[in-house]
Structure 1
Amino acid sequence: MDIALPSSVTTQQVTTGRLTTNILVSGDPGGTPICLVHGNVSSSRFWAELMADIPDGYRVIAPDLRGYGDSETKPVDATRGVRDFTEDLAALFDELGLETVALAGWSIGGGIAMRYAIDHPETLTGLVLVSTMSPYGFGGTTRDGTPCQPDHAGTGGGLANDEFVERLAEGDTSAEADGSPRSVMQAFYVGPDHEFDSEIVDAYVKAMCTTVVGDGNYPGDAAPSENWPGVAPGDHGVLNAISPKYFDTSDLTDIDPKPPVLWVRGDADQIVSDTSFFDAGFLGQAGELPNWPGEDVYPPQPMNDQTRDVLETYADNGGRYTEETFADVGHSPHIERPEQFRSVLLDFLTI
């Protein structure tokens, strides 16, 4: 990719028995390991500026997930939830000789980090959830995780915006339409008042356009449904992997040992929210999806309430978590308020 990186951040290709993974690397090779996992329709490039300003004493890596950035393209088996991603991470850590690591995940990366923590709790020195998706998956559940529809209709690959997917596949870096990657990033990845540096925004848009589009990757396939809104998850691809049909990390509360958890979010987030513009229940309530059956049948998913409930139970069971809410910040606290985010992160890592 022709995307300029900060001078202190380099790239490396690491081949395991599962995948050839592209990673960004910064810091001291002998320092405390931190792994930063990106979100959907993005890549490790979204962490680079933060990585450049992490002080001495840390070894920071940020992988491109399969089907993103410069990593190898392999399909995602949605019936395994996000385990294709977490098993890729485990193989990567083994190859790099990382026996323990502080793991941070942004958006869908937060869901991946939670699943990794459930499967490998003894390896984590800390768990950082940045604008994380709910432990009950994305869309279609009530507060306690109960599905709104028996087949999880209204979640998965069929809910992706067709124009956005088409323009993403074309590598459209323009701002000529509301559905272009650049326009979607400006409208939803950040808060309404955030202004990008022109060179950085170009790098981020190019990174978005490395996303592999198709049934096996983003967004995934779909199945017809007799239940509102008429489409249910398929078995392949990223959006199906995070459907509550296949994704549930609420048993994070029971892991042993329990690494400390930091949850960072913005109060102006429109993607992960109790009123998310990407949730069928909220779109139906807002009149954007026709024939909404009503709040008794299909309420908006209370994503942040669900995360808080699970983390409160985590604390009740002997764990520890801290919630940091950034005012007037959207979906990307580490990009919108990098100094504040870095301070919060480093304070957490040194406790």
Structure 2
Amino acid sequence: MGSIPPLPGIASRMVETPRLRQHVLLKGPPEGVPVLFVHGNASSSTFWEETMLALPGGYQAIAPDLRGYGDTEDQPVDASRGCRDWVDDLLALMDVLGHSRFHLVGHSLGGSVVWALLAVAPERVLTATVVAPGSPFGFGGTKDLQGRPCASDFAGSGAGLVNPEFARLMAEGYRGEDHPAAPRVVMNRFYWKPPFRHPREEALLSGVLSEKVGPNKYPGDALPSPYWPGVAPGRWGPANALSPKYVGDTVERMLRSPSKPPVLWVRGADDEIVSDASLFEPGNLGRLGVVPGWPGAEVYPPQPMVGQTRYVLERYSAAGGFYQEEVFPDTGHSPHIERPAWFGRLLHTHLQRVG
């Protein structure tokens, strides 16, 4: 069993794969239609528990802790592969569990993993659901809908964006809220729209604190840059894996593939993490005067994250795919947690698009 006791009805299991020993939450019959849930950054599988319990009969919910998170074996994330370490881990897990095809659901960083998996192995995906996903072009450092970089070294993306105090307090397992960078404060301020507080706040906070912090772990290494804001992504860790430097041909492979699972895109109207005016992205923070020396909108505009996702999905649709966008009003970065009944209805309908 993992370190966070699961809700009744959910089983906790360690699964050995050829790649690593992975902690997994399970609900439903092993012969059920598999639904793979992928959590976000500074998070863990426990963030999916209510969604798993709400699945109709006939499905098996599978929610692993990703490499670098939760109770999964502590292995580094090679950011130079983008999200491929996670993708390969998940495909190996589903092989061991005996599932050749599955529904796929990802939140935030997990949504970025969904994009990468749709590029690598779309034929294995029945349907895809992305909840407040990172842009298909990566997080930070791009200037337009086509994902062109603001600087040649992708300055302003990767581990250098992470508040070091947040990482320090996470490593200490700090559970208080008298520091502005405290994990509890960040969770309740940005993961959902205040004044929302989750009834399982302590369990979710434990999930946040379960991320592995340290050299070659979270947030990862950073390199100096001659371009504003002076820092570029390194090679290791989850934050660097999300940099557009390492996205590669993910978008083009998604668009070229003859296999295009239907995509449900769900987001909160008041999301401040993934938005066209993100409070975690240097272009917008520079525009607001939070990060000094901003070179202006022509050189480094706020990244149009939502616009980029819509641009890619419109091209996906034009190339023979299907997508549905749903925007939840008065909702932040976690629609599945803030509006579980609404999200559940959408998800369950989407799962039925494919037998």
- TM-score between both structures, scaled by the size of structure 2: 0.97
| Counterpart position of 2:288 | 286
| Counterpart position of 2:212 | 212
Larger mean CA deviation between 146-155 and 239-248 belongs to 239-248
| Counterpart position of 2:112 | 111
Partner Cα distance (1:48, 1:332) in 2: 13
Give yes or no for contact 2:159–2:221 (8 Å, CA) kept in 1: yes
CA offset digits 1:252-285 (Å, max 9, x no partner): 2222211100001000100000000110100000
Query: Match of 2:14, as an amino acid?
Result: Q
Q: Compute the displacement of 1:2 (Å).
A: 4.7
CA offset digits 1:311-338 (Å, max 9, x no partner): 0000000000000111111000110011
CA offset digits 1:175-218 (Å, max 9, x no partner): 12111100000010001232322xx0000001111100123221
Partner Cα distance (2:235, 2:30) in 1: 39
Query: Match of 2:64, as an amino acid?
Result: P
Q: Compute the displacement of 1:158 (Å).
A: 1.0
Give yes or no for contact 2:10–2:25 (8 Å, CA) kept in 1: yes
Give yes or no for contact 1:3–1:203 (8 Å, CA) kept in 2: yes
Partner Cα distance (2:118, 2:228) in 1: 34
Partner Cα distance (1:53, 1:312) in 2: 30
Partner Cα distance (2:267, 2:259) in 1: 25
SS at match of 1:109: helix
Give yes or no for contact 1:154–1:231 (8 Å, CA) kept in 2: yes
Give yes or no for contact 2:37–2:64 (8 Å, CA) kept in 1: yes
| Counterpart position of 1:223 | 223
Partner Cα distance (1:29, 1:56) in 2: 12
Alignment of 1:129-168 (within 5 A): 129-143=130-144, 144-168=146-170
Partner Cα distance (2:72, 2:12) in 1: 11
Following TM superposition, where does structure 1 have runs of at least 4 consecutive aligned residues deviating by more than 4 angstroms?
none
Larger mean CA deviation between 252-261 and 290-299 belongs to 252-261
CA offset digits 1:157-190 (Å, max 9, x no partner): 1110011011000000111211110000001000
Give yes or no for contact 1:13–1:21 (8 Å, CA) kept in 2: yes
Partner Cα distance (1:326, 1:92) in 2: 32
| Counterpart position of 1:337 | 339
Partner Cα distance (1:321, 1:35) in 2: 19
Unaligned runs of 5+ in 1: none
CA offset digits 1:70-99 (Å, max 9, x no partner): 100100111111111100011101100001
Query: Match of 1:179, as an amino acid?
Result: A
Query: Match of 1:312, as an amino acid?
Result: E
| Counterpart position of 2:19 | 18
SS at match of 2:293: coil
Partner Cα distance (1:215, 1:236) in 2: 8
Partner Cα distance (1:2, 1:121) in 2: 33
What RMSD in Å do the two structures reach over aligned CA positions? 1.0
Partner Cα distance (2:219, 2:164) in 1: 10
Give yes or no for contact 1:27–1:55 (8 Å, CA) kept in 2: no
Query: Match of 2:133, as an amino acid?
Result: T
Unaligned runs of 5+ in 2: none
Size of the aligned set, in residue pairs, is 349
Give yes or no for contact 2:56–2:348 (8 Å, CA) kept in 1: no
Give yes or no for contact 1:107–1:130 (8 Å, CA) kept in 2: yes
SS at match of 2:244: coil
| Counterpart position of 1:180 | 182
Determine what percentage of the aligned residue pairs are the same residue.
48
| Counterpart position of 1:270 | 272
Alignment of 1:25-174 (within 5 A): 25-143=26-144, 144-174=146-176
Query: Match of 2:28, as an amino acid?
Result: G
Partner Cα distance (1:138, 1:58) in 2: 32
Partner Cα distance (2:243, 2:88) in 1: 19
Partner Cα distance (1:311, 1:193) in 2: 32
Partner Cα distance (2:11, 2:302) in 1: 42
